[in-house]
Amino acid sequence: MPGSTPELPIVVLDALLPTTQRVVVNRRGSTVWEVESHRGRYAVKLGHPIEATAEWSAQPWTALAPAREGAVLHRLGVDDIAYGEWEHGTWNIQPWHQGPDLHKLWEPCRKQKASIKPDADVTLGCVQALADLHVRGWAHGDVQPAHFIIGPERTHLIDLALARGGPVPEAYDFPFRGCLVHYEALEIARSVLDTGEAEPTQEADVYALGASLLISATGWRAVEYPDDAPRPVQREAVANGRRRPVKAPGKLGELIDAMLSHAPEDRPTIYEVGKALI
Ligand SMILES: Nc1ncnc2c1ncn2[C@@H]1O[C@H](COP(=O)(O)OP(=O)(O)O)[C@@H](O)[C@H]1O
Ligand SMILES: [Mg+2]
Protein backbone atom coordinates (compact mmCIF):
# COMPACT_ATOMS: atom_id res chain seq x y z
CA MET A 1 0.00 0.00 0.00
CA PRO A 2 2.51 2.59 -1.09
CA GLY A 3 1.81 6.14 0.00
CA SER A 4 -1.08 5.37 2.31
CA THR A 5 -1.01 5.15 6.10
CA PRO A 6 -2.68 2.03 7.43
CA GLU A 7 -5.19 2.27 10.27
CA LEU A 8 -4.55 0.74 13.68
CA PRO A 9 -5.96 -2.80 13.57
CA ILE A 10 -9.19 -3.41 15.53
CA VAL A 11 -7.46 -5.84 17.88
CA VAL A 12 -4.99 -3.10 18.89
CA LEU A 13 -7.79 -0.55 19.33
CA ASP A 14 -9.66 -3.05 21.50
CA ALA A 15 -6.58 -3.76 23.61
CA LEU A 16 -5.62 -0.14 24.22
CA LEU A 17 -8.78 1.98 23.76
CA PRO A 18 -6.59 4.93 22.71
CA THR A 19 -7.39 8.44 23.86
CA THR A 20 -4.89 9.92 21.41
CA GLN A 21 -2.75 8.45 18.66
CA ARG A 22 0.00 9.85 16.45
CA VAL A 23 1.87 8.27 13.56
CA VAL A 24 5.61 8.44 14.33
CA VAL A 25 6.95 6.80 11.19
CA ASN A 26 5.31 5.33 8.14
CA ARG A 27 7.76 3.80 5.75
CA ARG A 28 8.24 0.82 3.52
CA GLY A 29 7.45 -2.25 5.58
CA SER A 30 6.68 -0.57 8.91
CA THR A 31 4.38 1.93 10.61
CA VAL A 32 4.83 3.10 14.22
CA TRP A 33 2.29 5.02 16.35
CA GLU A 34 2.57 6.67 19.72
CA VAL A 35 -0.67 5.80 21.48
CA GLU A 36 -2.01 7.13 24.76
CA SER A 37 -4.64 5.28 26.69
CA HIS A 38 -5.88 5.00 30.26
CA ARG A 39 -3.33 2.15 30.64
CA GLY A 40 -0.39 4.42 29.76
CA ARG A 41 1.63 5.38 26.75
CA TYR A 42 2.62 2.78 24.15
CA ALA A 43 4.43 2.36 20.87
CA VAL A 44 2.42 0.32 18.37
CA LYS A 45 4.33 -1.21 15.48
CA LEU A 46 2.67 -2.61 12.40
CA GLY A 47 4.59 -4.63 9.80
CA HIS A 48 3.67 -5.19 6.19
CA PRO A 49 5.46 -6.92 3.33
CA ILE A 50 7.59 -4.81 0.99
CA GLU A 51 6.52 -5.45 -2.59
CA ALA A 52 9.14 -5.79 -5.31
CA THR A 53 9.80 -2.73 -7.50
CA ALA A 54 12.33 -1.92 -10.22
CA GLU A 55 14.80 -0.80 -7.51
CA TRP A 56 14.40 -3.44 -4.81
CA SER A 57 13.31 -7.03 -4.48
CA ALA A 58 10.34 -8.10 -2.37
CA GLN A 59 10.99 -8.31 1.38
CA PRO A 60 8.26 -10.38 3.00
CA TRP A 61 10.12 -10.50 6.37
CA THR A 62 9.13 -6.91 7.26
CA ALA A 63 5.59 -8.22 7.80
CA LEU A 64 6.89 -10.61 10.49
CA ALA A 65 9.26 -8.18 12.25
CA PRO A 66 6.84 -6.77 14.90
CA ALA A 67 5.75 -10.24 16.08
CA ARG A 68 9.36 -11.40 16.13
CA GLU A 69 10.27 -8.35 18.21
CA GLY A 70 7.30 -8.98 20.50
CA ALA A 71 8.52 -12.54 21.08
CA VAL A 72 12.06 -11.32 21.80
CA LEU A 73 10.81 -8.69 24.29
CA HIS A 74 8.67 -11.35 25.92
CA ARG A 75 11.69 -13.66 26.32
CA LEU A 76 13.66 -10.78 27.78
CA GLY A 77 10.95 -10.40 30.40
CA VAL A 78 9.70 -6.96 29.33
CA ASP A 79 6.26 -6.38 30.88
CA ASP A 80 3.28 -4.97 29.06
CA ILE A 81 3.99 -6.50 25.65
CA ALA A 82 1.42 -7.81 23.22
CA TYR A 83 1.78 -9.01 19.66
CA GLY A 84 -0.21 -10.73 16.99
CA GLU A 85 -1.30 -10.77 13.39
CA TRP A 86 -3.34 -8.42 11.22
CA GLU A 87 -4.52 -8.60 7.63
CA HIS A 88 -1.15 -7.84 5.99
CA GLY A 89 1.37 -8.92 8.60
CA THR A 90 2.03 -8.67 12.33
CA TRP A 91 1.88 -5.99 15.07
CA ASN A 92 3.20 -5.37 18.54
CA ILE A 93 2.39 -3.11 21.47
CA GLN A 94 5.27 -2.07 23.75
CA PRO A 95 5.88 0.61 26.37
CA TRP A 96 6.64 4.05 24.93
CA HIS A 97 10.04 5.50 25.87
CA GLN A 98 10.12 9.27 25.99
CA GLY A 99 13.20 11.17 24.87
CA PRO A 100 15.37 12.16 21.93
CA ASP A 101 17.47 9.57 20.14
CA LEU A 102 21.26 9.71 20.14
CA HIS A 103 21.54 11.34 16.72
CA LYS A 104 19.06 14.08 17.59
CA LEU A 105 20.58 14.71 21.01
CA TRP A 106 24.07 15.24 19.62
CA GLU A 107 23.01 17.57 16.81
CA PRO A 108 24.76 20.53 18.55
CA CYS A 109 28.05 18.56 18.58
CA ARG A 110 27.84 18.21 14.80
CA LYS A 111 26.86 21.83 14.16
CA GLN A 112 29.33 23.60 16.43
CA LYS A 113 31.99 20.96 16.26
CA ALA A 114 34.75 22.37 18.39
CA SER A 115 32.73 23.98 21.17
CA ILE A 116 30.22 21.28 22.17
CA LYS A 117 31.61 17.85 23.07
CA PRO A 118 29.66 14.59 23.14
CA ASP A 119 28.41 14.03 26.67
CA ALA A 120 30.15 11.16 28.51
CA ASP A 121 27.02 10.27 30.51
CA VAL A 122 25.05 9.89 27.30
CA THR A 123 27.74 7.60 25.88
CA LEU A 124 27.71 5.57 29.07
CA GLY A 125 23.91 5.28 28.94
CA CYS A 126 24.09 3.79 25.44
CA VAL A 127 26.85 1.41 26.50
CA GLN A 128 24.80 0.34 29.53
CA ALA A 129 21.73 -0.32 27.40
CA LEU A 130 23.69 -2.57 25.04
CA ALA A 131 25.53 -4.25 27.95
CA ASP A 132 22.16 -5.12 29.53
CA LEU A 133 21.32 -7.10 26.41
CA HIS A 134 24.75 -8.71 25.99
CA VAL A 135 24.97 -9.86 29.58
CA ARG A 136 21.84 -11.93 28.95
CA GLY A 137 23.48 -13.63 25.99
CA TRP A 138 21.72 -11.70 23.22
CA ALA A 139 23.04 -9.75 20.23
CA HIS A 140 20.90 -6.83 18.95
CA GLY A 141 21.79 -7.00 15.24
CA ASP A 142 20.52 -3.52 14.35
CA VAL A 143 22.40 -1.06 16.58
CA GLN A 144 22.07 2.47 15.16
CA PRO A 145 21.71 6.00 16.61
CA ALA A 146 17.91 6.10 16.14
CA HIS A 147 17.56 3.01 18.33
CA PHE A 148 18.99 4.63 21.46
CA ILE A 149 16.27 6.64 23.22
CA ILE A 150 17.87 8.84 25.87
CA GLY A 151 15.27 9.03 28.62
CA PRO A 152 15.39 11.10 31.82
CA GLU A 153 16.15 8.02 33.97
CA ARG A 154 17.91 5.67 31.59
CA THR A 155 18.67 4.96 27.96
CA HIS A 156 16.56 2.42 26.11
CA LEU A 157 17.76 0.35 23.16
CA ILE A 158 14.73 -0.24 20.94
CA ASP A 159 13.88 -2.26 17.82
CA LEU A 160 14.77 -5.80 18.82
CA ALA A 161 13.23 -7.31 15.68
CA LEU A 162 16.55 -8.74 14.49
CA ALA A 163 17.99 -9.75 17.88
CA ARG A 164 19.44 -13.24 18.38
CA GLY A 165 20.08 -15.12 21.59
CA GLY A 166 17.11 -17.36 22.37
CA PRO A 167 14.30 -19.21 20.64
CA VAL A 168 11.55 -17.29 18.83
CA PRO A 169 8.43 -18.86 17.29
CA GLU A 170 9.30 -20.39 13.95
CA ALA A 171 6.27 -18.79 12.28
CA TYR A 172 7.68 -15.33 13.02
CA ASP A 173 11.37 -16.04 12.47
CA PHE A 174 13.40 -15.03 9.41
CA PRO A 175 17.08 -14.93 8.46
CA PHE A 176 19.25 -11.91 9.25
CA ARG A 177 20.19 -10.15 6.01
CA GLY A 178 22.31 -7.33 7.41
CA CYS A 179 21.39 -3.94 8.83
CA LEU A 180 21.95 -0.31 7.82
CA VAL A 181 25.26 -0.42 5.97
CA HIS A 182 26.69 2.57 7.88
CA TYR A 183 26.66 0.48 11.06
CA GLU A 184 27.49 -2.91 9.57
CA ALA A 185 30.70 -4.60 10.76
CA LEU A 186 33.10 -5.85 8.10
CA GLU A 187 32.38 -9.53 8.70
CA ILE A 188 28.61 -8.96 8.48
CA ALA A 189 28.95 -7.01 5.20
CA ARG A 190 31.21 -9.73 3.76
CA SER A 191 28.84 -12.51 4.73
CA VAL A 192 25.80 -10.67 3.31
CA LEU A 193 27.67 -10.09 0.04
CA ASP A 194 28.79 -13.73 -0.18
CA THR A 195 25.69 -15.56 1.03
CA GLY A 196 22.86 -13.01 1.37
CA GLU A 197 22.73 -13.68 5.12
CA ALA A 198 24.80 -13.22 8.26
CA GLU A 199 24.79 -13.97 11.98
CA PRO A 200 24.33 -11.03 14.38
CA THR A 201 27.02 -11.10 17.07
CA GLN A 202 27.94 -9.09 20.14
CA GLU A 203 31.23 -8.11 18.43
CA ALA A 204 29.29 -6.71 15.47
CA ASP A 205 27.05 -4.80 17.94
CA VAL A 206 30.17 -3.18 19.46
CA TYR A 207 31.29 -2.14 15.98
CA ALA A 208 27.82 -0.72 15.28
CA LEU A 209 27.85 1.23 18.54
CA GLY A 210 31.27 2.67 17.63
CA ALA A 211 29.95 3.70 14.21
CA SER A 212 26.79 5.15 15.85
CA LEU A 213 28.77 7.25 18.32
CA LEU A 214 31.09 8.46 15.55
CA ILE A 215 28.32 9.52 13.18
CA SER A 216 26.29 11.15 15.97
CA ALA A 217 29.29 13.08 17.34
CA THR A 218 30.88 14.14 14.05
CA GLY A 219 28.36 13.67 11.25
CA TRP A 220 30.83 11.41 9.43
CA ARG A 221 30.35 7.77 8.51
CA ALA A 222 33.11 5.42 9.67
CA VAL A 223 33.68 4.09 6.16
CA GLU A 224 34.21 5.98 2.95
CA TYR A 225 31.77 5.41 0.06
CA PRO A 226 29.65 7.67 -2.13
CA ASP A 227 26.20 8.53 -0.72
CA ASP A 228 24.49 7.45 -3.88
CA ALA A 229 26.44 4.20 -4.35
CA PRO A 230 24.25 1.10 -4.74
CA ARG A 231 23.96 -0.99 -1.56
CA PRO A 232 26.35 -3.78 -2.73
CA VAL A 233 29.02 -1.17 -3.56
CA GLN A 234 28.62 0.35 -0.09
CA ARG A 235 28.87 -3.13 1.46
CA GLU A 236 32.02 -3.86 -0.54
CA ALA A 237 33.63 -0.68 0.85
CA VAL A 238 32.63 -1.72 4.38
CA ALA A 239 33.87 -5.30 3.90
CA ASN A 240 37.20 -3.95 2.62
CA GLY A 241 37.49 -1.79 5.75
CA ARG A 242 37.98 1.55 4.01
CA ARG A 243 37.97 3.51 7.28
CA ARG A 244 37.62 7.25 6.96
CA PRO A 245 40.28 9.25 8.87
CA VAL A 246 37.80 10.97 11.16
CA LYS A 247 37.84 10.93 14.95
CA ALA A 248 35.54 11.92 17.77
CA PRO A 249 37.21 14.26 20.28
CA GLY A 250 39.35 13.05 23.19
CA LYS A 251 39.30 9.66 24.87
CA LEU A 252 36.05 8.76 23.10
CA GLY A 253 37.88 8.98 19.76
CA GLU A 254 40.44 6.34 20.84
CA LEU A 255 37.72 4.09 22.16
CA ILE A 256 35.67 4.34 18.96
CA ASP A 257 38.75 3.43 16.92
CA ALA A 258 39.13 0.23 18.98
CA MET A 259 35.41 -0.56 18.61
CA LEU A 260 35.76 -0.23 14.84
CA SER A 261 38.68 -2.69 14.66
CA HIS A 262 38.61 -4.83 11.52
CA ALA A 263 38.91 -8.16 13.32
CA PRO A 264 35.98 -8.88 15.69
CA GLU A 265 38.37 -10.32 18.32
CA ASP A 266 40.31 -7.04 18.40
CA ARG A 267 37.23 -5.08 19.47
CA PRO A 268 36.65 -4.45 23.17
CA THR A 269 33.63 -6.15 24.74
CA ILE A 270 30.81 -3.84 25.75
CA TYR A 271 31.88 -4.26 29.40
CA GLU A 272 35.43 -3.17 28.51
CA VAL A 273 33.98 -0.16 26.70
CA GLY A 274 32.01 0.71 29.83
CA LYS A 275 35.09 0.39 32.08
CA ALA A 276 37.17 2.57 29.74
CA LEU A 277 34.57 5.34 30.03
CA ILE A 278 34.43 5.51 33.81
N1 LIG B 1 9.17 1.88 22.37
C2 LIG B 1 9.37 3.03 21.72
N3 LIG B 1 9.41 4.21 22.38
C4 LIG B 1 9.59 5.38 21.72
N5 LIG B 1 9.73 5.47 20.39
C6 LIG B 1 9.69 4.34 19.67
C7 LIG B 1 9.52 3.05 20.28
N8 LIG B 1 9.53 2.12 19.32
C9 LIG B 1 9.70 2.79 18.15
N10 LIG B 1 9.80 4.11 18.34
C11 LIG B 1 9.96 5.17 17.33
O12 LIG B 1 9.64 4.68 16.06
C13 LIG B 1 10.80 4.65 15.21
C14 LIG B 1 10.80 3.35 14.39
O15 LIG B 1 10.75 2.26 15.27
P16 LIG B 1 11.64 0.96 15.09
O17 LIG B 1 11.41 0.13 16.30
O18 LIG B 1 13.04 1.34 14.78
O19 LIG B 1 10.95 0.23 13.87
P20 LIG B 1 11.33 0.02 12.34
O21 LIG B 1 12.80 0.28 12.17
O22 LIG B 1 10.95 -1.38 12.12
O23 LIG B 1 10.48 0.98 11.60
C24 LIG B 1 11.97 4.74 16.16
O25 LIG B 1 13.10 5.31 15.54
C26 LIG B 1 11.40 5.64 17.24
O27 LIG B 1 11.39 6.97 16.82
MG1 LIG C 1 14.38 0.55 13.37
Q: What's residue 125's pLDDT?
A: 98
Residue 5: phi and psi, rounded to 5, are -95, 125
Domain residue spans in the chain?
A: 10-95, 102-277
| pLDDT single digits (tens) 83-104 | 999 999 999 999 999 999 999 9
Dihedrals phi, psi of 124, to nearest 5 degrees: -60, -40
Instruction: In whole angstroms, give the CA distance from residue 216 to residue 144.
Output: 10
CATH class of 10-95: alpha beta
Q: Which one, of 202, 211, 219, 220, lies nearest residue 265 by Cα?
A: 202
Model confidence at 1: pLDDT above 70: no
In this structure, which CATH number among 1.20.1630.10, 1.10.510.10, 3.40.630.30, 3.40.50.2300 belongs to the domain 102-277? 1.10.510.10
**Ligand 2 ion local residues (Cβ < 5 A):** 159
Write out pLDDT tens, residues 137-176.
Answer: 999 999 999 999 999 999 999 999 999 999 999 999 999 9
pTM for the whole thing? 0.96
113 falls in which pLDDT band (50, 70, 90)? low
pLDDT digits (tens, 9 = 90+) for 11-22: 999 999 999 999
For residue 114, name the pLDDT band (cuts at 50, 70, 90).
low
Rounded to an integer, what distance in angstroms lies between the CA atom of residue 101 and that of residue 29? 21
Mean pLDDT of the chain: 94
Residue identifier of the C-alpha nearest atom 21 of ligand 1: 159
Same CATH fold, 102-277 and 10-95? no
Residue of 33, 156, 158, 174 with the most ligand 1 atoms within 8 Å of its CB, for mutation: 158
- What pLDDT is attached to residue 6? 87
Pocket of ligand 1 (CB under 6 A): 24-25, 30, 32, 43, 45, 65, 94, 96-97, 146-147, 149, 158-159, 161
